[in-house]
Chains A and B, each alone.
Chain A
């Protein structure tokens, strides 16, 4: 049964992704732990502060999971929301699950709680990296309409594995922030093709910032998550030197490009503008062709 990941709520995604009936929510809506800051702004709060956390099994393996609800304030990270993520990673150090899965959908720091959100993001990054240091895999699943931006874009690239659909986006600053700072010629936030070409799953997959590209289907995300379970690798000097060399080469090879399509062309994609029509398998095949060509 094909269920769209993008059109599902955070809880629907978890129920469809995890082993049936295995999900136990921690500090759920019943606990009514809401943001202490939003009332001051006259902004409605949520009983789970926009993130679902809990325990479950995936292919019979114990996992800890978090799923951000993009419908609540764009999945923004506030004080309580961030603390639930920190607590989940800290729990992983105690319970030693096979993996921690984060279904990330967020604009980053919740600007209504700016300072608290900023600190929380760094606390999540620290806790996440402590978990990886214990050999526990951390995977990010990104396929919601709001994408994964700002502080969550940083958190995502601290994980072992990033899984995306082509609907998902992964970036640092939102196009509208760039446009409001340097004008529409710098980045036209209303040009959806440009926005997805620059921050979407296909571009990130071709660049290597998304490890697994799937269609917008929860079953596809499930199998990608299962495949990611053994992917744990702690940070090491060697792994960070490899990462450093790759990131340096990326600037050398593509730093002069004016548009993502130029990068794809430089990678050996003959019809860059046709990429938009391809499904996940089409893009995966494209990458193997490019790799062959460059090898």
Chain B
């Protein structure tokens, strides 16, 4: 779904969202409430400039509109894969965006993510996955890395990876796997405005995704392992 239809579905005509390059920014009204809209489009590669531009929108919302909810619209192919971005420290730029979202949440802004097309790797970690909760459209595609690059790094043949991607939730790009693993809270079908309004009233304060993953069966160990590390006594190790 293109961004104009998504924004129309969320806010009707009651919005000021504009596109500047691959950046989406503006406001929308849902359930009588004005929210900030920040995001990317056109499978945007996140370079240092775009990471900073998104962070700027978050900071401006925190500074100028205390308490205003933020909706993150996600369509990204992940971090831009260029020498220049690594030379300048793209990891710091993207971590900065993640910290700005965290600051907004710490200061009482509810943050809702919506993957409306693609969400890959670091671009998704530092936007939608930093929200109170992240939702997705059924046709969205979420993946860590494209298979050719993954094959090269894991040294598993692309054919084998393709085969795995059909059946194994830890691998498959299909968005329902991310729902099963708790990374995506739910899929939105039909009335987007109603579901956004509900999401704004139902935004979890604590990170429930590992618990959701266990309850839905997509990640059966994450919550239990974190709980054991949180509570179990340590054992003194014989010095190696």
Interface positions of A (Cβ within 8 A of B) = 9, 11-12, 15, 21, 23-28, 30-31, 33, 36-37, 40-41, 53-55, 79-80, 82-84, 86-88, 90-91, 94, 107, 109, 111-123, 125-127, 129, 133, 150-151, 153-158, 170-178, 180-182, 186-187, 198-199, 203-204, 207, 209, 235-237, 240-241, 243-244, 247-248, 250-251, 254-255, 257, 259-260, 263
Contacts and interface: CB of A to CB of B under 8 A. Distances in A.
B122 A113 contact: no
Majority secondary structure of chain B interface residues (helix, strand, loop or mixed): helix
B150 interface: yes
Contacts of B86: 171-173, 175, 178, 187, 198-199
A126 B237 CA distance: 30
Interface stretch (B32-40, B95-103, B186-194): B95-103
A154 B125 contact: yes
Given A115-B142, A154-B98, A157-B91, 9 more contacts: A21-B236, A33-B228, A94-B230, A111-B153, A112-B156, A170-B91, A173-B81, A178-B86, A237-B107
Interface string B128-164: 0110000000000011110011101110100000001
Interface in B204-240: 207, 209-210, 213, 219-237, 239-240
A240 B83 contact: no
Interface of B: 48-49, 52, 55-56, 59, 62-63, 79, 81-96, 98-100, 102-103, 106-107, 121-122, 124-126, 129-130, 142-145, 148-150, 152-154, 156, 164, 168-172, 177-178, 181-183, 207, 209-210, 213, 219-237, 239-240
Contacts of B62: 237
A257 B87 contact: yes
B164 A24 contact: no
Contacts of A182: 81-82
B52 to A, nearest CB: 6
